[in-house]
Amino acid sequence: MRKRAACFALLAAIVFSGAAFGEGNELFGSLGALLSELAAPSSPPETGEDGSCSMAFSEFGQTEYEAFLGFFLSNGFEISAFSGNDRFIQGVFTYEGKEAIFEYDPNALSARIVFPGSLLQNTFHCPVAEGDPVSFGSYEQDAVIENGKERIEWLVLDTDGDSALLISKYVLDAHVYGEETEVQRAPCTWDTSLMRVWLNGEFLESAFGEGERQRLVLSLVPADANPYYDTEQGADTYDFVWLISSKEMNAYFPEKAARIAPATDYLFSMHFATYRDNAVYSLRTAGNTVYTHAMTSLEGSIYTVSSNWLECAVRPMIRVKLN
């Protein structure tokens, strides 16, 4: 019974702790290191269909259990549910509206941890492969401002073991690409675009917390040639957030149907052109002239539009550190 009392004492301290846990995803790296020191998984981590990560531990005794709870105590995590007796203990830890479940059997000296479907899974060495759905960052998507922002869902395009290249599953927002008026035409390539400034400024600050921004990789974004037109593409850039190019679109999404992306309710509420809940979205490649840029059609074809459009839909790309 003394074990149980100690557990509930820790629970009370965590629940009523005044520490506020912000974004700080780097804390999960510390937790991963702690678990690596305490106990190795008794079997390879398993990833569920929803992207969740499940890890099982054996030889997980009272010392390991108290160290695990102590980590949450010192970092201000919240517990949304807790139950336990001398036979079995279960806690539900809440992080950014998602629940991580921890189970501990003191008699069998075993534990099981289930983390939500997000890039946090890879902090604990779960596989992240091409095509996997992950969540990272938050942005308004359901058009209900009062309930806060929703987690951004991404698709993994590739991974080099240290980082993953992601593209948003949904078309998230709309912004001007070049000049804000169709009257004054001006040449505009990705490196000089208003879209690039907005994505790496206002959008980045809104979509990612401080800890998440630390995991974004400042990446070389090449001025890929247009596969169809011999158009000047400007200079290569280094960005945290960018748009896919026509060349990359053909490489990652060779089939037209795979390029179609649904629009969020938030984008739909802005009265942007949609069809069957999908939206056309901008590419960073200049079109047939430097006054235009490439876009996808509602059917997945690539075509050219004026860079002076007032609104161009946005499906961003990022590269994120996995560990």
* Beta-bridge partner residues of 93: 79, 100
Burial 122-145 (b: 16+ CB within 10 A, else e): bbbbbebeeebebbbbbbbbeeee
| Domain map (residue ranges) of the chain | 2-121, 129-321
Phi, psi of 93, deg, nearest 5: -95, 135
pLDDT reported for residue 204: 95
pLDDT reported for residue 145: 86
pLDDT, tens digit only, all 323 positions of the chain? 233 333 333 333 323 222 222 233 455 556 666 666 666 777 777 766 666 677 888 888 888 888 877 776 666 667 766 676 666 787 777 766 666 788 888 888 888 887 765 544 444 445 577 877 787 888 999 888 888 888 888 999 998 878 899 999 999 998 888 875 555 567 788 999 999 999 999 999 999 887 788 889 999 999 998 888 888 988 999 999 999 999 999 999 999 999 999 989 888 887 555 555 778 899 999 888 888 888 898 888 887 777 666 678 899 999 998 76
Look-up of token digits 């000047």: 232
Look-up of token digits 């459009």: 309
pLDDT reported for residue 198: 95
